Every structure is written in C-alpha cells, then in structure tokens.
C-alpha cells in the first residue's frame, strides 16, 4: 500500500484543497483500496499488489458517454493477432505500462476526494481539507478515456502508427525506423493490440521493435517487456521452430478447481479419457430444464452464490480460449436465477470436463504442412478465414427458441466463436440456421476488417463458410421466394446480398463435417472429443469424421473369412 501511495504522490496526482474553497454542493467522493495477488505459470503467487481507486459509482458528473468512452482490443482481435503471428512467423512481445492512468492529464472536470483510508494524516487535517485530482485515478468515470487519448495521440502523432477503424485498440506500423545511435534504418512491420495498459506486439524485426519500445519508455514508465508469456489471464506459448502459437488457460483451470474445491483425484478416476472413460460436455442424455417443469429441489443461498460465481468463472474460460465449453456455459447460465440440485451437479460435471481436458489448448500454426485445411472441395490457405454455422431447433423447453453456434477458423484453429440462445422463435430448421449464419456473417466481416488492417488479406477474396442444412443453402444461393421464407427478417436477406457480392460464399457440407456442432448441443463422448481437438487446432478438421472407405479386395476377402 505504501508503494502504491508513493507512486501516486510521485506522479503529482493530488493537490490539497481547503474545504472552504469548494463551491456549495460540490460532491466529495471517497477513495478505496483494491488488492490483487499475481501468480506465475505454475499458479504460484509472486507479488501482492495494492491499488488506490476512486469510488466512481459515487461520482456525480455531467460527462457524456463520449467523454467516458475508452476502447480496448476485442478478444477476437487478440486471437487474430496471435494467429497471424504464427502464420507469418513473427516474434511476439508483451508490454505493460506501469500506473498508466497516472501518466495522463485531467480534463476540465474537477474531482475532489477524501483522504486515502489508513493514510489520512499524510496530507494534513482531514476535517479541514480534501484532495483535488490532478491526474486520472483508477475508478473515476473518465480515467480510462483520458489514458486512451494520451496513448493514441503519442502512437499516432509521434510514432506514426495507424489506428484500426474496426477495433480502436489495434495499432499498426509499417515502414522504416532509424536507430538513434548508429543511424541505421530498419524496415519493420509491427502489429499491436492494446488492452488498457497491456499490449501484445508482433513484429518481424526485433531490433527495430527495441528502438520503438525505448521511445515508448521515454514517454511512459514500462514495468515489464520481453517475449510474451502471460496476457489477459492466459498463457501464450510461441514455438518458432514448430511454427505454433498456443493460448492456454491451464493455470486458470487449476486455480478454478481449487477455488470450488473440485476433487481432482476422483476426476482422474472417473473421467480420464486415456483410460477410455470419455465424458460428455453435460451429464445425462436429457436436456436440462427449469425447476418450474421438473420440480427438482432447490439449493441453499450459499450454493446459489457458488453457482453464480462458478458460471461466471466458466464463462471467461469459454469466451477467451475454450470454445468447446461455450454451449454448456450458455445452458447453465440460463438457470442462474433459480438453480436446482440437478443444475449444480451439471456445473460440477462441466468443471470436471475442463480439468480433464486442461491440456488441450488453442494452437495456431504457420502452414498446412501437417494438417489439412479444407472445406468440402475448397482449399483453405494461411490467413484465410473459414466459417461454420449451425443451429439446434426449438430445444428450449420454456421459450422453444433455438441455439446458435458459430465458429470461425483461422490458421488451423478457432479465432472467433459464439454460442447463444436466439432472440426469436424460429418456425423451421431453415429459419433457425439462417439466423445462425447471420451471426456468423457479422463476426466474419469484422475479422476480415482486422486482417485487412494487418495487410494479410484483401476484401476481394470471398469468405467461405460451411452449412449442413440443404434448405438454408438453397435459400441463401437462390432468388426464389416461397411461402415458407417470404416473411423472413431483413438480416436474413442480407445473407443473399453477401452471397451475390461474393463476399461470403455458402458451401454445403455433411453434418459430420459441421465444426460448430458442439456449440449447439451436447455430443456423445467420441464426437465431442473429435470436435474439441479439431476446433482447438490439435487434429485434422477436414474431414472431421471420414466417410467409410471402400473396402479393398483384401479387406473383402478377410470379411468373407470372418463370416
């Protein structure tokens, strides 16, 4: 706490002001302390950190939403950055700005605070004086916006980076940089994604990056830099020789099992796939229902709170690096208001599934040397997107709405995905599938803009996506209007426009090759494992389940001998 307070004072964050100088009705907001323990790859704590924050929830201000807007890189963009780095064999570095908010300047909105808890005597008599903020402090309404404006202004105006319009947390530099010592010019490409004060940087010239990093260090205080290891709670492992970049949350899963007291010994005994006891994503053959339909006993308030925390913990895991559990998390999240004992058992089952499969991580690859990247008869090259869209039909017992499952593959593994209940009730499988494809199109077009910004793709190359519903494929590729599809929503007709413009191309695939299947339903164990490995880039995903090969003459003769 003292270290944090010294850092705050060194930055000139506060000015002591007499209470008599304040205008009538001036709001004085309290300060609070936030505590965090940092852990390494082995889940061992190596640092305790305290942060002084403003109670922004008690801050009354006339600031507009634009004044408080602070963009950060989307998680999809970060995964696309890692995927592109793997495909182009780029070095990946990380950057952390120490006390980032304190390195920006306040605007004309004055903020007054009480003295910090535990250090009231440091600034004088707390009954006669208050503190005026001269630097944005964590927690205030517009502190994030002020930091982003400072960072962007320096990157764009001084270092000549280009900011992405689709994701304003992405910055690109492509050109020459002069070494201030030797005067040598270095040609370099730098791709960076910023999440508040943390950055992931991919570059093809380490020497040039070191020059730019030093220029950043002249402006901001950098607390850590070097080859990327930990980023946004995940572990990034780059193997230049193998041409892979892995995004792992294994330590997060281990911490999760400790927090919720999961018996890992029993899990190894009951669910270990190496011993043949493969598991489903959710337990049982029947779909989960609410207590209003089943009459299952409820849970205690303590168990309900644990269920809420657990679903939130699993949600981060599914959103960040484990698309194979997104359907299970989506189902469990629909019962958070009134969970039953059945739902609680399903929650622990999904926790066990994550523990057993914790070693399966997202793996992006440099090229299709080892794995075949193919969609039906179409070859998929490096830095080329390939989508899959699927939907269940009326599987929600209460609303009869369908589940959308979409996934976008890039360089051998999933870069974007989504599993969510559809907002409307579809009257046919064709309509439900079209709603899923509309969601896939939205995600695919965003990823295409990011790839174009990174200068690894062109807008004239169509995005191919697989669909296993013949009626849906016919609807997208045809201009005919039948009574069954005449009333479809406007967004569904947008699919036709994209198909005519050759921006998105729908390809009919077999149901066994539908990669987004586990995002719409709980598959049988063998299929769940095959889909998981394919989605994470650990196995061949075309074809996912090979068709039965024609028997050779030798096989036929052996078959006859068996008979």
* Cα–Cα distance for residue pair 347/349, rounded to 1 Å: 5
Residue with tokens 């991580």: 361
Q: What is the pTM of this model?
A: 0.86
Q: What is the pLDDT of residues 515-555, one digit of tens each?
A: 899 999 888 888 888 889 989 988 776 544 444 333 333 33
Q: What is the pLDDT of residue 292?
A: 63
The low-confidence residues of the chain, meaning pLDDT below 50, are: 274-278, 285, 369-370, 543-563
For residues 52 and 33, give the distance between their C-alpha atoms in angstroms, rounded to a whole number: 5
Q: Which among 557, 550, 439 has a CA at the least distance from the CA of 504?
A: 439
CA–chain centroid gap for 283, Å, is 26
The model's pLDDT over 371-382, given as tens digits with 9 standing for 90+, comes to: 556 676 677 778
b (16+ CB within 10 A) / e for 495-504: bbebbeeebb
According to the model, what pLDDT value does residue 548 have? 39
pLDDT score for 41: 60
Helix (H, G, I), strand (E, B) or coil at 370: coil
- Which two tokens mark 82? 């890692």
Distance CA 108, CA 92 (A): 39
Q: Quick check: 392 and 428 in contact, CB under 8 A? A: no
Q: What is the DSSP string of 147-161?
A: HHHHHHHIIIIIS--
547: Cβ contacts below 8 Å, ≥ 6 apart: 510, 512
The count of residues in the chain is 563
Q: 387: which strand partners?
A: 408, 465
The tens digit of pLDDT for each residue in 443-461 reads: 999 999 999 999 998 877 8
Domains along the sequence of the chain with CATH: 2-232 (no CATH), 247-366 (no CATH), 371-563 (3.30.420.10)
pLDDT the model gives residue 542: 52
């Amino acid at each position: 706490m003292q270290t944090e307070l010294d850092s705050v004072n060194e930055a000139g964050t506060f000015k002591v002001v007499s209470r008599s100088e304040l205008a009538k009705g001036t709001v004085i907001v309290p300060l609070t302390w936030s505590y965090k323990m940092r852990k390494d790859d082995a889940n061992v704590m190596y640092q305790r950190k305290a942060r002084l924050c403003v109670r922004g929830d008690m801050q009354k201000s006339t600031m507009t939403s634009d004044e408080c807007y602070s963009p950060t890189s989307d998680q999809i963009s970060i995964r696309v950055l890692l995927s592109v780095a793997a495909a182009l064999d780029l070095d990946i570095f990380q950057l952390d700005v120490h006390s980032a908010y304190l390195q920006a300047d306040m605007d004309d909105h004055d903020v007054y605070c009480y003295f910090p808890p535990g250090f009231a005597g440091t600034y004088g008599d707390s009954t006669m004086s208050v503190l005026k903020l001269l630097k944005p402090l964590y927690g205030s309404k517009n502190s994030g916006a002020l930091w982003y404006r400072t960072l962007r202004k320096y990157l764009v105006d001084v270092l000549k980076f280009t900011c992405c319009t689709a994701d304003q947390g992405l910055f690109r530099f492509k050109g020459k940089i002069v070494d201030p010592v030797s005067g040598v010019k270095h040609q370099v490409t730098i791709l960076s994604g910023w999440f508040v004060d943390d950055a992931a940087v991919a570059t093809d010239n380490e020497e040039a990056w070191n020059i730019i990093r030093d220029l950043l260090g002249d402006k901001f205080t950098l607390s850590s830099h070097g080859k990327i290891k930990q980023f946004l709670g995940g572990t990034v492992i780059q193997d230049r020789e193998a041409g892979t970049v892995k995004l792992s949350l294994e330590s997060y899963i281990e911490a999760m099992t400790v927090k919720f007291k999961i018996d890992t010994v029993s899990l190894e005994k009951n669910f270990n796939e190496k011993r043949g006891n493969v598991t489903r994503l959710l337990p049982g053959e029947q779909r989960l229902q609410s207590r209003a339909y089943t009459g299952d006993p409820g849970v205690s308030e303590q168990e309900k709170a644990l269920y809420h925390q657990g679903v939130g913990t699993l949600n981060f895991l599914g959103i960040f690096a484990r698309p194979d559990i997104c359907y299970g998390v989506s189902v469990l999240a629909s019962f958070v208001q009134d969970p039953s004992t059945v739902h609680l058992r399903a929650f622990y089952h999904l926790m066990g599934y994550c523990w057993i499969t914790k070693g399966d991580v997202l793996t992006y690859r440099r090229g299709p040397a080892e794995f075949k990247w193919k969609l039906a008869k179409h070859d998929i090259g490096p830095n080329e997107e390939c989508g899959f869209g699927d939907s269940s039909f009326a599987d929600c017992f209460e609303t009869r709405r369908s589940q959308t499952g979409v996934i976008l593959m890039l360089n051998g593994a999933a870069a974007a995905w989504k599993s969510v209940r559809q907002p409307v009730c579809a009257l046919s499988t064709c309509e439900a599938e079209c709603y899923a494809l509309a969601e896939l199109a939205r995600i695919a077009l965003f990823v295409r803009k990011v790839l174009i910004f990174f200068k690894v793709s062109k807008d004239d190359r169509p995005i191919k996506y697989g669909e296993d519903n013949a009626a849906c494929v016919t609807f997208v590729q045809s201009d005919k209007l039948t009574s069954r599809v005449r009333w479809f929503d406007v967004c569904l007709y947008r699919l036709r426009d994209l198909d005519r413009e050759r921006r998105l191309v729908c390809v009919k695939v077999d149901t066994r090759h539908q990669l987004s299947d586990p995002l719409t339903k709980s598959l049988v164990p063998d299929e769940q494992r095959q889909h998981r490995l394919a989605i994470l880039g650990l196995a061949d995903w075309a074809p996912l389940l090979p068709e039965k090969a024609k028997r050779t003459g030798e096989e036929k003769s052996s078959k006859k001998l068996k008979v």
